[in-house]
A = this chain, B = another copy of it.
Amino acid sequence: MQRFKLTIEYDGRPFVGWQRQKNGPSAQAVIEDAFQKFAPGETVKVTGSGRTDAGVHALGQVAHLDLERDMTADQLQGALNYHMQPRGSVSIVKAEAVHADFNARFDAVKRHYVYRIANRRAPLTFDQGLKWHVKTQLDHEAMHEAAQVLVGQHDFTTFRHVACQAKSPVKTMDYLRVEREGDEVRLYAGARSFLHHQIRSITGTLKLVGEGNWTKADVQAALDARDRQALGFNAPPDGLYFKHVEFDT
């Protein structure tokens, strides 16, 4: 048996999320179903570093799987990419043979996300479903400044979906950076792990700051409230990308 590490890109628009679910297509199912096409009868379980919600994208999701059959990493990558349907939904950008004790979920020590906002009046063309469309001119510097309130270890109950299954609402945010490039505003976030909807909740709240409706003190008060009702706004999944994962190896 050989374990492989896969680095995976996917366009989240057609998916109910990363994880296989009964109510619709998922990135995980696309990969597992592709495997069935070149190894009929064999089943494989693909374990990801993190779940992503419906409509959320990945540039560098990482997963592991075990193969009984004799294949090189290059062969596995080629075969999966050849068989995945629909074409253009998921792409294995890298495949590596790894030790049998490598675990994409439990060995991940840092997860990095980026949230992309198209900040312009005109409707989106290329970026529909790929960025959050915010028409009000955003003050990205004020957003960055207010975001620093959330860096470090905090009880993020306010920024957590009510259905979040994590045992504790306490998380450590390693960094939050808000930058502008032309009419795109990007929020970069890194942490060992995140709560359900945490980045979208933070982004939605910082948007209120960028529009001038909230201050840094309001963000602090929302955090201190430890109450989901204190949340400013929850951003849509469109602009969220699981960017890359760091491992302790």
Q: How far is the CB of A156 from chain B (nearest CB, A)?
A: 30
For the complex, is A1 an interface residue (Cβ under 8 Å from B)? no
For the complex, is A167 an interface residue (Cβ under 8 Å from B)? no
Q: How far is the CB of A101 from chain B (nearest CB, A)?
A: 27
Query: Which residues of chain A from 26 to 56 have a CB within 8 Å of any chain B CB?
Result: none
Report the nearest B residue to A84, measured CB to CB.
B123
Q: How far is the CB of A236 from chain B (nearest CB, A)?
A: 15
Query: Which residues of chain A from 70 to 118 have a CB within 8 Å of any chain B CB?
Result: 77, 81, 84, 87-94
For the complex, is A67 an interface residue (Cβ under 8 Å from B)? no
Tell which of A124, A125, A130 has the most Cβ of chain B within 10 Å: A125
**Inter-chain contacts of A124 with B (CB < 8 A):** 88, 91
**Inter-chain contacts of A94 with B (CB < 8 A):** 122
Evaluate contact between A125 and B10: CB separation under 8 angstroms.
yes
Contact A123/B81 with A88-B128, A128-B88 known, Cβ cut-off 8 Å: yes
For the complex, is A174 an interface residue (Cβ under 8 Å from B)? no
A11 partner, pick from B11, B77, B122, B126, beta carbons under 8 A: B126
Report the nearest B residue to A87, measured CB to CB.
B123
For the complex, is A238 an interface residue (Cβ under 8 Å from B)? no
Evaluate contact between A125 and B88: CB separation under 8 angstroms.
yes
Q: How far is the CB of A61 from chain B (nearest CB, A)?
A: 12
Evaluate contact between B11 and A125: CB separation under 8 angstroms.
yes
A158 to B11, CA, bound (A): 39
For the complex, is A120 an interface residue (Cβ under 8 Å from B)? yes
Evaluate contact between B81 and A125: CB separation under 8 angstroms.
no
A125 to B59, CA, bound (A): 10
A22 to B91, CA, bound (A): 37
A94 to B84, CA, bound (A): 40
A128 to B90, CA, bound (A): 12
Q: How far is the CB of A130 from chain B (nearest CB, A)?
A: 7
Q: How far is the CB of A12 from chain B (nearest CB, A)?
A: 10
A197 to B138, CA, bound (A): 40
Evaluate contact between B130 and A91: CB separation under 8 angstroms.
no
A-B CB proximity, top 9 nearest: A93-B122, A88-B128, A11-B125, A91-B122, A91-B123, A91-B125, A81-B123, A9-B125, A11-B126
Show 9 A/B contacts (Cβ-Cβ < 8 Å), sorted by A.
A9-B125, A9-B126, A10-B125, A87-B123, A87-B128, A88-B124, A91-B122, A91-B123, A93-B120
